[in-house]
Amino acid sequence: MPSPFAGRTPLPFADRMQAGRDLGETVRDLELTAPVVLGVPRGGVAVAAPAAAAIGAPLDVIVVRKLGAPRNPELGIGAVGGWGEPWLDERLVSTLGVPAVFLEREIAEQRAEALRRLRAYRPDASPLDVGGRDVVVVDDGIATGGTVIAAAQLLRAQRPARLILAVPVAPREGVERVKDVYDDVIALHLPEPYFAVGQWYADFHQVSDDEVRDLLAAA
């Protein structure tokens, strides 16, 4: 079941750091078993770092990539990670008439990019073992929810004790879509109307790979 919480900071957030601190304070109130926080690169890691610090949990990444629609790469028709089955928005794929050959190529390209990023972010470190632990997946916000659904599918194979999605902001329909794949969903704000994640941040700069590496190293 989703668990929306009233935000401690009114919208817009000053930046991802502020959003992460607020999120961490809320997640800290849960009864967690050996928690680990996984940020969705890139922007989600900038939120996950202060959240993990507030919880007192280790930080790592869960790398998933959006599958873009033909002629409109910003429109997500699914998501994929470096391994495991991709998640597809079957209704949208059918409505757009996405060709199978395009879908196969897009999955292969985005899977390769997910693996590249994973190697770039922690080239000398093994991924954290999440088996039997409460896993908190953090992003800077969700839209369709495809990326975090794909993340949940990858993580379930590792048998975590509980999967929790924690985001500063989300649309209500997005929360409804992801609640079936997470044990708990925390969203500080559920504003309406909701057009894009970036509208709820005063500073929503594009986070670089170097910034992600620095955050992981500092944690």
DSSP conformation letters of 87-104: EE-HHHHHHHT--HHHHH
Q: What is the pLDDT of residue 178?
A: 95
Of the options 3.40.50.300, 3.30.1310.20, 3.40.50.2300, 3.30.43.10, the CATH number for the domain spanning 65-121? 3.30.1310.20
- The ranges of the chain annotated as CATH 3.30.1310.20 are 65-121
Radius of gyration of the chain (CA): 16
Sorting pLDDT into bands at 50, 70 and 90, what band is 8? low
Q: Is residue 131 over pLDDT 80? A: yes
Q: What is the pLDDT of residue 4?
A: 42
Region 80-103: mean pLDDT is: 90
Q: Is residue 149 over pLDDT 50? A: yes
Which architecture characterizes domain 16-63+126-218 according to CATH?
3-Layer(aba) Sandwich (3.40)
- The ranges of the chain annotated as CATH 3.40.50.2020 are 16-63+126-218
Sheet order of strands, 36-39 included = 59-61, 36-39, 134-138, 162-169, 184-189
Average pLDDT, the chain: 91
Region 188-216: mean pLDDT is: 95
Q: To the nearest whole percent, how much of the chain has pLDDT over 70?
A: 96
Q: What is the pLDDT of residue 80?
A: 87
